[in-house]
Structure 1
Amino acid sequence: MMAEPAEIQSILGLDVSRDTVTLCDGRRHTVTVANEADALRAALQPYQGTTTLAVCEATGGYEDILLGVLLELAIPAHRADPAKVKAYIASFGKRAKNDPIDARWLSRYGCDRATTLPRWQPADPTQQKLELLVARRLDLVAMRVQEQNRLKAPRSRLIADNIRDHLAELERHIEALNAEIDTLIGESRDLALRAQQLRSVPGVGPVLAPLLLAVIPELGTLNRRQVASLAGVAPHPKDSGKANWHRSTTGGRRQIRPALFIAALAACRGDNPLAVAYKALLKAAKPKRVALTAIMRKIISIANARVRDAVRHQNEIGKINA
C-alpha cells in the first residue's frame, strides 16, 4: 500500500537518462545505476515499505522502466514537469548541472512540495495505446506538411519525384493509423461513449475527437475553467498596478490549440449555435481572432460537459443494473 502524502518522511530524487539513473536520498551522497529493471530493483529494494516518495522528471519514455519498478515495489512516485523543476532550480540562482546535482535538486524539490505533488499512477493500457497512436499520427502529419512545403520548390525533377513518393508513403501510414485508432476506440465501451459525445459537438470531427481523448483524458472530470486552461484557450490576466493589459491565452497542452482552431473555423461556417455566437461577437465589434478564440473555448467547454454528463448517466445505469 502506498504512503499517503502526510506520511511521507523522506524523498528520493532520481535523475533519469537513457542508460543510467542517479539516486539521491536527501543527503549529499548519490549513487548511479543502470537504467535496467534488475539494477533499479536492487537499488530501490531498501526503500520498499518505507515512507519514501520517489521524484523523477518526465524524459520522454526513459523513465518508464523506473516507474514500473517503483510500482512493483509499492514506492509512491511523482513524475515532475521538467519546466517546473528547472524554474525551481533557477529561483535559487544555481546553474551547475550534472546527474548527481540534478538528483539532489529533485530530492530537494520533493522535500519542499511533498504534500502537494500528485502521485503517479499507471495509465490504462488502452488509453496508453491511444496516446501513442495519436502522438505518432501527429508526427506523420507534421512530416507531411514539411514535405508538401518542399514540393512547392523542389529545384529538381528527381527531388520532386522523391518527395511525391514519400508523401504517398506518409499518406498510407496515416490512413493505417486512422484505422487503428478507430478500431481501438470502437473496442472500448468507455472510449466509444466519450468519442460519440465529442463528435456531437459542432466542429469536432474524426481527427479532433481522438486527439482530445488522448491528450486530455481528464475530460469530464474538470470544470470549464480548468479544461479551458488545459486546452490553452483560457484568458490570463496581465495587470500591474493601474495598468490593465489585454488578457492573452497562453499555456495548455500544445497539441490541442491548433486543432481547436480548425474546429472553430468549421463550426463558424455551419448552421449551429456556435456560428450564431460567432456572428454575434463580430457584430459586437470583436476582432475575428478574439471571436474565434471564444468559440474554441466554447467547443472545449461543451465537449467537457457532454462527456461528464454521459459518463455520469452510464455510471447510474450501471449501479441500477448491479
Structure 2
Amino acid sequence: MTENPPDVSLTVFAGVDTHKDTHHAAIIDHLGRGIGDREFPATAAGYRALLAWVRGAGVVARIGVEGTGSYGSALTAVLQEAGIEVVDVDRTDRQSRRFQGKSDSLDAYSAARLAAAGIARTIPKAHDGDVEAIRFLHNARRTAVKSRAEAITALKSAVVNAPESIREQLRDLSTKALVDACAGLRPGTVEPGALAAAVKTALRSLARRIRMLDQEIAALEADLHPLVVDAAADLVARFGVGYETAAQLLITVGDNPDRISNEAAFASLCGVAPIPASSGKTSRHRLNRGGNRQANRALHIIVLARLKRDPRTRAYRDKRLAQGKSKRDIIRCLKRAVAREMFQLLTQKIGS
C-alpha cells in the first residue's frame, strides 16, 4: 500500500530579518504569496513564540535567516534544534529593494522568498565547538593588535611634534627602544605653562598602553595557539601557515565543515574561484571580488610566504612568467591551488 504524498498546499516558508533587540518574521505559501508577518523580541521566549507562530501556519519546509553568525545565531540554534532546515540569507534581493524600498517586513519576506526559491542555500555555521572558541579569541586578539598599532602610530606622531629637547632624545630609537624610553619617563607635575611635563605624560601613557596591549596579546595567544593546533595540527605544520592564518581558515569553515560540499565551494567561499565573464566569441574569466575577504587574505599571506621561500612555488612562478602570465594572474592561480590544499586539511580533522 503506497502512502499518500504530502499536501504541497500546506507547505510554508519563512524569512527572518534579525536585529539586536527584535526579529521580524514573515511567512509565505508554496506559491510565494505572503501569509503574514510579525515582530518578536530577541529573547529565548521570543524565539519559542516565533517558532510556534511559524509552525501554526503549516508544514515548515525551510526558514531563511539573515545574520546567522551574528544577531540571528541564537534563533538559528533554536530552529535547528526543533528540526527545521535553516539557510543563511547573507544578501537580500537588491532588485526588489531598489523598486519596493526597505523595511523589516519587506526584508523578512525577501528572505523567505530567497529560501523558498533555493537562491539562499548556505547552511549556517555551528557555534558550539572549539572553532567557535577560536573565533572569540581570534577576534579579541585582532582588536588588541589593531589598538597596539594605533597606539604605536600615535606615539611616533607625538614624538615628531614634541618640543626639540624631548624629540632629540627619542628621534632615532627603534620602536621597542622608544616604548621602553617613554614608559620610563618622569614628567613631574602637569600644570599651566609646563608643556614638557604634559608631553612626557602623554608619551608615557601611550608607551604603557602599548606594553599593556603586548601583555594582552601574549595572553590571548597562549590560549589561542593550543586550540588551533588541536583543531588542525597538520594545517599549522604546512609551509607558510601560521597560527593566525590557520585560525582564520578554521573560522571560515566553522565547526561543521560538512556544510561545504567540496573544495570548489570552499574556493568560492574564499573568493578565489574565477567567475565566468564570457560573451560571444570571447571566452574569459574575471576575478571574484566576493566571498569571505578575511579568508581570501589568509590564502594571500600563505602564497606570499611560499613565493618568498618555497622552491616549488618559486619554480612554478618562474615557469608561468616564461609563458607570459602576469604576477597577479600567477598569484590568483596559486591561491586557488592553496584553497584546494587547505580544504582537505581543514575537513579531515574537524570532520572526524
TM-score, normalising length: structure 2: 0.70
Q: CA separation in 1, counterparts of 2:318 and 2:280?
A: 35
Q: CA separation in 2, counterparts of 1:242 and 1:253?
A: 32
The offset of 1:19, in angstroms, is 1.3
Residues 253 and 28 (structure 1 numbering): CA distance in 2 closer, same or farther, change over 3 Å? Answer: same
Q: Cα deviation per residue 1:53-101 (whole Å; 9 max; x = unaligned)?
A: 32220165221332233234333322311x2x143634xx424222223
- Tell me the SS of whatever aligns to 2:157: coil
- Which residue matches 1:141? 145
Residues 165 and 290 (structure 1 numbering): CA distance in 2 closer, same or farther, change over 3 Å? Answer: farther
Q: CA separation in 1, counterparts of 2:262 and 2:17?
A: 34
- Tell me the SS of whatever aligns to 1:23: strand
Instruction: Indicate yes or no: 2:7 matched with 1:36.
Output: no
Contact kept in structure 1, 2:228 and 2:246, CA below 8 Å: no
Q: CA separation in 2, counterparts of 1:98 and 1:171?
A: 44
Instruction: Indicate yes or no: 2:21 matched with 1:16.
Output: no
Q: CA separation in 2, counterparts of 1:122 and 1:207?
A: 21
Aligned residues: 298
- Which residue matches 1:318? none
Over the aligned positions, Cα root-mean-square deviation in angstroms equals: 3.5
Contact kept in structure 2, 1:212 and 1:256, CA below 8 Å: yes
Residues 260 and 24 (structure 1 numbering): CA distance in 2 closer, same or farther, change over 3 Å? Answer: closer
Residues 163 and 58 (structure 1 numbering): CA distance in 2 closer, same or farther, change over 3 Å? Answer: same
Q: CA separation in 1, counterparts of 2:205 and 2:314?
A: 42
Q: CA separation in 2, counterparts of 1:100 and 1:294?
A: 43
- Which residue matches 2:126? 122
The offset of 1:159, in angstroms, is 4.7
Unaligned runs of 5+ residues in structure 2 are 1-5, 29-33, 163-198
Q: CA separation in 2, counterparts of 1:33 and 1:305?
A: 41
Q: Cα deviation per residue 1:208-227 (whole Å; 9 max; x = unaligned)?
A: 12221222344996644333
The offset of 1:178, in angstroms, is 1.5
The offset of 1:255, in angstroms, is 0.6
Please, which of 97, 105, 124 is the counterpart of residue 100 of structure 1?
105
Contact kept in structure 2, 1:79 and 1:120, CA below 8 Å: yes
Identity among equivalent pairs (%): 25
- Which residue matches 1:131? 135
TM-score, normalising length: structure 1: 0.76
- Which residue matches 1:319? none
Radius of gyration: which is bigger? 2
Contact kept in structure 1, 2:21 and 2:42, CA below 8 Å: yes
Contact kept in structure 2, 1:48 and 1:73, CA below 8 Å: no
Please, which of 309, 316, 325 is the counterpart of residue 270 of structure 1?
309
Contact kept in structure 2, 1:131 and 1:215, CA below 8 Å: no
- Which residue matches 1:212? 249
Contact kept in structure 1, 2:138 and 2:244, CA below 8 Å: no
- Which residue matches 2:292? 253
Residues 99 and 134 (structure 1 numbering): CA distance in 2 closer, same or farther, change over 3 Å? Answer: same
Contact kept in structure 1, 2:68 and 2:76, CA below 8 Å: no
- Tell me the SS of whatever aligns to 2:99: coil
Q: Cα deviation per residue 1:250-307 (whole Å; 9 max; x = unaligned)?
A: 2221112223322222212224322322233334443333333333333332233445
1:160-309 map, 5 Å: 160-186=203-229, 188=230, 191=231, 195-217=232-254, 218=257, 223-243=262-282, 247-307=286-346
Residues 178 and 7 (structure 1 numbering): CA distance in 2 closer, same or farther, change over 3 Å? Answer: farther
Q: CA separation in 2, counterparts of 1:278 and 1:236?
A: 22
Give the partner amino acid of 1:98. Answer: S
Contact kept in structure 1, 2:24 and 2:38, CA below 8 Å: yes
Q: CA separation in 1, counterparts of 2:250 and 2:124?
A: 19
